[in-house]
Structure 1
Amino acid sequence: MAGSRVVSEVRARDKDVKITAFGAEAWQPYNRVLLSNVVAGTSSPDQVRLLDPRWYADHGVTARLGVPVIAIDRDCQTVVAADGTREPYDVLVLATGSEPVVPPIPGVQRATAFRTLDDCERIREAATSARSAVVVGGGLLGIEAARGLAGRGVPVTLLHLAGHLMERQLDEEAGLILRETLGALGVAIRTGVTVSAIRERHVEMAGGELIDADLVVLACGVRPVVGLARDAGLEVERGVVVDDEMRTDDPSIFAIGECAQHAGRVYGLVAPGWEQASVVADLVTGADKGARYRGSRLVTRLKARSVELAAMGETQLTEDEAEIVRFSHRHTGTYRKLVIREGRLVGAILLGETSAVGTLTQLFDRGGPLPGDRTGLLFPDLAGVGGAAVADSPTRMPDSARVCQCNNVTKGQIRACWESGARNVEAVAAATRATTGCGSCRDAVEGIVGWLCEQEGVSA
């Protein structure tokens, strides 16, 4: 996703620079964020493409899809491809992404990792005849895979090593409510368990317990793909080390996306990769020689049908470390939590109905002061407290409000597109890329477009 983005960003700034794109996968660039929809059967592979199949040819880009690069010759400024060809470069951008973590247990070759579109195809094919499935890993991808399989009518058990689901993003109570929500949707969940082996039609737990599984899906985390960079002698820690220009210690080589490590951090979400791609495009084309990447503030959205979840920032702080505002209603699957320090929002969890996410994301991004009455932040529909509801009503939302987090699209940009003739979500997406990342902003974009059409008395 980061690689295709930097190509399109460079071409948008410079129509003439020669661009060659190598990709290990034979597929046209696609949106990994939406792969759970492919598993669930609610989207086809064509519907998660990032670029039209003709885009490369139409824009003068040489695309070597299905041809991985196996070496970088820095002395000659050349990359060596698996088919033996050598391609010279003035500027090289590494966007090698991540690879799934596969636990070293007996029988693991019988399982399928959940990472690529090919993985999705294998999972979908196996699901057509599977009488039972096990998903190993209760993070974001594992939950989305399990929900997708359950939606296909396959009995699913999700096994997770930690004590509660999504332990990096959620506190224990939110993890418990999420578990109960998923349970009601047909996903059986076991936490605090270890898988010791994968048998012919079972998963074996530490202690010998067997769980039926015709299909086993692995979602045990990912690690940056850094072998190419390491073999070329570039500085590598967890990821390929880069500075604020996204340059490695070789000034001709950049790294972006999940393989890059900036200021000690590797980002595993789409928005940072796209922000980094924009910086690199500005620098290599000269469009903005002062462009710098300063890090990202992440909002994690769960993309599983019938489950609404958003988490951001420091969600694990205690009452001794921060001001905590919390509402919990297990019966309805609702949990809302604000983490406030020095009058600023530094973290939040919204599980269940998430109408407040627009406002909270803005406050989290900008670090602005919060209203004295925190209740309006948790329940923006009850009253407009200190401007808390502005992000959830097109009428009162300022044009500067960011609607699409992945692509940094504001309400003002959507309005400008509408005024230029974009009368539906698809037209707005084509012009701004809003909704093309995690897809969680689609309802908001539809609301704004619908409101604008209503105001002017035109059809959407």
Structure 2
Amino acid sequence: MVAAGLVAIGSGPAGVSAAETFRARHRNIPVRILSSDPALPYAKPPLSKQFLCGRPADLDLHSEGWFERNRIDLLRGVTVQRIDVDAQEVVTAGGARYPYWHLVIASGAAPVPPAVPGGRNAQPLRSFADAVALKMAARHAGTAVVIGAGLIGCEAAGCLAALGVATTVVAPEPVPLLRRFGVDVGERVVKMLFDAGVRFVGSADVTAVVESGVVLAGGENVDGDVVVAATGVRPDVRLAAEAGLSIRAGRIVVDEQMRTSARNIYAAGDVTLAYNVAAGRQVVSEHWRDAALQGRVAGLTAAGVSAQWDTASGFSCTIGTSRLAYRGWGGPYERCRVVDQRDGFVATYHDGGDIVGRLVATTSPVS
């Protein structure tokens, strides 16, 4: 019989942070991480910032020896089938059962392929395996199309262009990052893409992914030996939903301590709709830093230590030689004030009399 302890589902920043934090407080209670990914836990931001571009990237969160030394049982390539809330057990697809005293759901999110004919043939960029496949494909490609102009799409496009691939970004919005940052910022991001060697085609709907690239609603074909899907992700809340946990807007509802509606079950990272004390409301975040912080809060709470999520969200994006750094809540805003500077710009987002976000863009000179 496997001894009960803390079980984390997912080996991303939230799951690893929860396990690491709990272990630091309780040296003798079993700690396990169940991961569907066969790779050692790794950081995802460097995949589209450095690894795809061919630059040195520090990916490993910890070495295999670190997990052994800290007596954290890392089980890779394991698919969790269900959570038995009454028995307080996690059941895998192979029939193994892992009892828990505390459970952290950090199952992350899965990429959503374009909902068009051939859409599943577009290459995602979510995992290390995805990044390796895309990097290999780029070696033999002369052209590439990136569908979607969000953060990952813009970063991936910049990397592909840096590898010498003629790259086009296609998006239904008139400018990149429109919904998050507005038109004024989006127009400046178009220039960043252009400076990075990327062509941007906005207000364009992809109707099919074909062998030669993509087909647009107007009938135009955009050539792409490689087609990348940067069309968003969907939080993986299946286990939580089937276990009867409270779900809202497709995410697991948690309080500021990362507690779910079920006893001794916590959630952290992309899957959560979490209450942030500083914001005074529930906040959705899909960024690495927040996932790690939420995982730490979950680990502390499970360990019996008082903790709460009370920091502002933050992330960065790299496009060629330009860098965008954001801090704020990422929600609705009434107005945006953009001030251009010699090496970039600063955008401040206001809601009523409050500042709810700040974006700083800087461009490094080409050496």
Distance change in 2, residues 1:102/1:315 (3 Å): closer
Q: Indicate yes or no: 2:301 matched with 1:291.
A: no
Amino acid at match of 2:235: P
Distance change in 2, residues 1:244/1:317 (3 Å): closer
2:360 to 333, 350, 366: 350
What CA distance in whole angstroms lies between the structure 2 residues aligned with 1:112 and 1:146? 13
Higher relative contact order (CA 8 A, sep 6+): 2
TM-score, length basis structure 1: 0.70
Q: Indicate yes or no: 2:291 matched with 1:273.
A: yes
Residues 192 and 320 in structure 2, CA contact (< 8 A), matched pair in contact too = no
Partner of 1:313: 328
Amino acid at match of 2:30: K
2:130 to 111, 119, 127: 119
Q: Indicate yes or no: 2:112 matched with 1:101.
A: yes
Amino acid at match of 2:262: D
Distance change in 2, residues 1:138/1:66 (3 Å): same
SS for the counterpart of 2:110 is strand
2:319 to 300, 304, 318: 304
What CA distance in whole angstroms lies between the structure 2 residues aligned with 1:141 and 1:155? 18
Report how many residues are paired. 344
What CA distance in whole angstroms lies between the structure 1 residues aligned with 2:313 and 2:303? 28
Amino acid at match of 2:293: E
- How large is the RMSD of aligned CA atoms in angstroms? 2.2
- Offset at residue 342 of structure 1 (A): 7.7
- Offset at residue 305 of structure 1 (A): 3.8
Partner of 1:35: 47
- Offset at residue 49 of structure 1 (A): 0.8
Superposition map of 1:79-90 within 5 A: 79-90=90-101
Partner of 1:239: 251
Superposition map of 1:356-367 within 5 A: none
Residues 242 and 260 in structure 1, CA contact (< 8 A), matched pair in contact too = yes
Partner of 2:180: 169
- Offset at residue 217 of structure 1 (A): 0.6
Amino acid at match of 2:264: S
SS for the counterpart of 1:281 is helix
Moved more, 14-23 or 332-341: 332-341
Q: Indicate yes or no: 2:141 matched with 1:141.
A: no
Superposition map of 1:355-434 within 5 A: none
What CA distance in whole angstroms lies between the structure 1 residues aligned with 2:64 and 2:222? 43
SS for the counterpart of 2:258 is coil
1:131 to 133, 136, 142: 142
Distance change in 2, residues 1:35/1:231 (3 Å): same
What CA distance in whole angstroms lies between the structure 2 residues aligned with 1:243 and 1:141? 29
Name the one with the larger strand percent. Answer: 2
How many percent identity over aligned positions?
A: 31
Residues 170 and 316 in structure 1, CA contact (< 8 A), matched pair in contact too = no
TM-score, length basis structure 2: 0.87
What CA distance in whole angstroms lies between the structure 2 residues aligned with 1:343 and 1:326? 17
Amino acid at match of 1:165: P
Deviation per CA, 1:369-404: give whole Å up to 9, x if none.
xxxxxxxxxxxxxxxxxxxxxxxxxxxxxxxxxxxx
- Offset at residue 273 of structure 1 (A): 1.7
Deviation per CA, 1:340-390: give whole Å up to 9, x if none.
678764332322359xxxxxxxxxxxxxxxxxxxxxxxxxxxxxxxxxxxx
Q: Indicate yes or no: 2:227 matched with 1:211.
A: no
Partner of 1:251: 263
Partner of 2:231: 220
Distance change in 2, residues 1:146/1:325 (3 Å): closer
Deviation per CA, 1:32-81: give whole Å up to 9, x if none.
1111111111135xx21111121111111111111121111112111111
Name the one with the larger helix percent. Answer: 1
What CA distance in whole angstroms lies between the structure 1 residues aligned with 2:269 and 2:350? 29
Distance change in 2, residues 1:301/1:14 (3 Å): same
SS for the counterpart of 2:178 is coil
Partner of 1:182: 193
Q: Indicate yes or no: 2:41 matched with 1:26.
A: no
Larger radius of gyration: 1
What CA distance in whole angstroms lies between the structure 1 residues aligned with 2:331 and 2:85? 44
Distance change in 2, residues 1:305/1:14 (3 Å): farther
1:14 to 11, 26, 43: 26
Deviation per CA, 1:81-115: give whole Å up to 9, x if none.
12221111111110001111212210112211111
- Offset at residue 291 of structure 1 (A): 2.0
Distance change in 2, residues 1:333/1:211 (3 Å): farther
What CA distance in whole angstroms lies between the structure 1 residues aligned with 2:271 and 2:135? 28
What CA distance in whole angstroms lies between the structure 1 residues aligned with 2:70 and 2:19? 10
**Structure 2 unaligned spans of 5+:** 1-12, 276-281
